[in-house]
Each structure stands twice: as structure tokens, then as C-alpha cells.
Amino acid sequence: MTTPPSSHDIARAKYLILGAGPAGLTMAKMLADRGVDDVILIEASGKVGGKCLSSEIGDHVVEFGTCYAIWSHKYILKQMKKLGIKRNYLRAQRIDDRELMDYIRDGSGPSFFWQVFKYLRLRGRLMAKADANDPEVNDLLAQPTSDWLRAHNLGKIEHMMHRVVTSIGYGYLNRLPLIHAFRWVDFNMMLTGLLKFTVMPDGGWQRFWDRFAEGLDIHLNQRATKIVRAASGIRVVTENGSEFIGERLINTIPLDVFNQLTHPSKAETRVAEAIDWGGYTTSLLSVADWPHDVPVNSWSATCATDANDGQILFSRIECEDEDGRTLVTVGQLSAAYEPDELTELARFSAQERGAVDPRIVQQVVWSYMPTYKAGAIRDGLIAAMAAMQGENNTFHTGASFSHEAVSTISSFNAQLLAKVAP
């Protein structure tokens, strides 16, 4: 990693990558693996890894941001192996303190395996046409996930999504457009549930990303404030006056922020306006007693299709604090609540779930889950997002172009690579 250049330094490379979160880092590594190493990453903060925040309590790591890898994280799992980083397997996960499979079976409709087969077949057909700008497909992908599941009598899949979509903070199924559920819940996701394969990198995600980033040319503490894109090349200016000059730009930061730094194209303006950024809050609670002994638990009442924002969606038991109280991580959809309201809601909701004397140790409010407006999906947003790649020698990736997960981001980058470095 490169230390910040002093002010007015100029650095040049063929490829400039804006942001050293999972999208920027995996793209840089994929380029390097193709023999392209003329790449600079420009990162605003003092660390790599983006929305990952590993906090150490003794020898235990609490993850406030990026948490798990599942079967879908094939690229990341391979990298963990290469780096010799052990996987810590997550033990039992339940919903209402029951086996997830029992809760899934309570859903309506035919057998679960039949529903999985039907869901994957219908999903496959629709996703194959997602980029085609077919008005019928656009309409289907724009509708609320629960409407589509109910129309196809997939009640058990709806129950499964309460755990694998809503409890993770991707949204309530009566509001979440189908395209988002489809992007996340694929064959690999289903396999994860059946094999109970959920892992965390030993030592935490920050350590993983630090190791992953070794050898890449990363400029930390360089917040881009201006981007000029001309036929002669691309110039990125940062807040301390440094300049980065290149031929191609790979943008990983939210498009609304990006557009404020440059003259956006029509497509960039259209896509930024079509995205609503949601919020997610992670809190570490210290409780005198916690009645749920399973390591990770969720609640059907708070993850239900039409539940309310702000309630706790899951809990993860961490360790004991020095006073012998239990430390538990919980997550909430932040919606429009202020941080102090979220604190109150987290405590109240935890008490409702049996927590005795819950106290907030630490709370982090994230900008999370870029969600497409239904009207924009109907108007051909997905096709427009694919078509704009390469315009002004700029390529866009990251959570808003794939989905809010490291697995989908790295798979998206693997596809985009053919356009970025043909």
C-alpha cells in the first residue's frame, strides 16, 4: 500500500479505480491476475475493505459491517485459501429459536424441494432476460417480491426469504422489488441453506482485506473531489490536492456521490436518480441476561413480509464482557430514524425479545442496500445500467450495480472484466 502522496503529487496509471472497498480491491486483483498491473486505487479513508469494521474484544472479533461468506462467495473463499486464512464456521442459526427448516415448512404451498425447483426455473428464465429491456420482464422484476412469490404459490420460499433476505437487512418483501431478491437468492444461496455453510475469516474481515490488498498500488486518505473526463484522458483530483491521471476509470462509489464530482452523462444521472440508498444499523448490546442460546437467531415477527422498520432483525451472541454480561450484536433497518431513536428502538425491541437490562456498547449506522425504484425498473433501468458501461471510458461497479454483498460484487467484476480490459 502506498502512503499518501504529499500535496500536488501527480500519479499516473492506465487504470484508475475509485474506492478500495470490496469492488475496487477485487477488480484490481482480477486485473493483476490478467497481467494488468498498471492500476492505481484511490481511497478516501485510511483503510481498505469499505463497509467492513472488525472490532477486537480480547481475542474475539466483533464484525459491525461485512460478516459472512456463504457458498456464493466462491472467489473470496478461494482467496482466503490462497492467503492461508482459516474459515471459522458459524454454528446453528435459527428463527424464533427453531430450526430454519421447520419455519420454512410452515409456509404455504407444495413441498419445499418442489418450490425450490420451481423458483430456480422461473428465476433463471427471467434473469436471462433482465438486460433485454423486455417490458413484460421489466414489469415482473419491478413488482414487490411477495406479490410474485404468492402469485406462484411459493409460500415456503417466502418464509425462507424472511431469514435470508429480510433478516440480513435487504428489505421487507412487500416493498422489495423482485430483481433484488433474485440477485441474492440463487442456486448457491439455496445450497448454503441446505449445507449450512456460513463462514467468517479467522481474525476478521479487516485482516482478510489487508492481506488481500498486499501488492496493490493503493493511495489511502485520498478523497476524490473532482473528476475530469476528456478525450485525452481522465484526471482525478483529491481533497489534499493530489492528482491521478489515467486512461480508464473504474468507479465503485455510489453514483449520486460520483455525479457530484464530475459532469455526469445522461445515463449516470438517470441511474443515480433511480437508486434509493437504505440504512442499516448494527449495535453491540451488553445484556444481563439473553434467553436465546443459539449463536444466531432471527424473529419471524420482525422479519415478516409486512413488518415495521427499526425492530431488531437478528441477534448474534459474541462473548462476555469484563462484568460477565453477554455481548450480543443486533441489526435493524434504519429507515428515516435518527441515531438516538435507533438506540431506543434497539433496546426496546431487544427487551421485547427477552433481553434483561440491554445497554448499547457501540452503534454503527450504515448507508446500505441501494434499492431500485419500481418505476425505473419498469422503464428499462437494468438494460440502461448494462449499456452505460464504458461510456466516457468509465466503468461502474460495486453494490449498486450488482447487489449489497461481496459475492455478487466479485461475480459482477468477473463479468465486467472482459469490457474493462478486453
User: Where does this chain bind ligand FAD (CB under 6 A)?
Assistant: 18-24, 42-45, 50-52, 65-68, 223-224, 252-253, 257, 280, 282, 366, 368, 398-399, 404-407, 409
Q: What is the DSSP letter of 69?
A: B
Least spacing, CB of residue 200 vs ligand FAD, in Å: 8
Q: CB of 280: closest distance to ligand FAD in angstroms?
A: 5
CB 275, min distance to ligand FAD, A: 13
Q: Which is nearer to ligand FAD, 146 or 251 (CB)?
A: 251
Residue 164: CB minimum distance to ligand FAD, A: 11
Which residue type sits at 173? L
Q: Which is nearer to ligand FAD, 65 or 358 (CB)?
A: 65
For residue 75 the three cell numbers come to 472467489
Determine the Cα–Cα distance for residues 92 and 123; give it in Å rounded to an integer: 29
- For residue 367, give the 3-state DSSP assignment: strand
Residue 22: CB minimum distance to ligand FAD, A: 4
Q: What pairing do the DSSP bridges indicate for beta strands 243-246 and 10-12?
A: parallel
Hey, how many other C-beta atoms are within 10 angstroms of the C-beta on 97? 13
Go through 153-168 and write b for each residue having 16 or more CB atoms within 10 A of its CB, e for each that does not.
ebbbbbbbbbbbbbbb
Q: Which CB atom, from 160 or from 249, has the smaller least distance to ligand FAD?
A: 249
Closest to ligand FAD by CB, 90 or 137: 90
| Nearest CB to ligand FAD, comparing residues 46 and 84 | 46
Least distance from ligand FAD to the Cβ atom of residue 266, Å: 22
Cell output for 179: 430483481
| Bridge partners, 17 (sequence order) | 41, 250
Of the two residues 109 and 279, which places its CB atom closer to ligand FAD in the complex? Answer: 279
Q: How far is the CB of 317 from ligand FAD (least distance, A)?
A: 16
Q: Cα separation of 382 and 134, whole Å?
A: 10
User: d(Cα 175, Cα 373) in Å, to the nearest integer?
Assistant: 10
3-state secondary structure of 127: helix
Closest CA relative to residue 263, chosen from 223, 230, 222: 230
Whichever of 142 and 250 has its CB closer to ligand FAD, that residue is 250
What values do phi and psi take at 417, rounded to 5?
-50, -40
- Nearest distance, CB of residue 109 and ligand FAD, angstroms: 29
Question: Is residue 208 within 8 Å of residue 201, measured between CB atoms?
Answer: yes
Min separation Cβ 226 and ligand FAD, Å:
10
Q: Closer to ligand FAD at the Cβ: 15 or 368? A: 368
Q: What is the dihedral of CA 327, 343, 370, 152, to 10 degrees?
A: 80
Nearer to ligand FAD, 91 or 125 (CB): 91
Question: What angle is formed at CA 301 by the lines to CA 296 and CA 306, rounded to 5 degrees?
Answer: 120
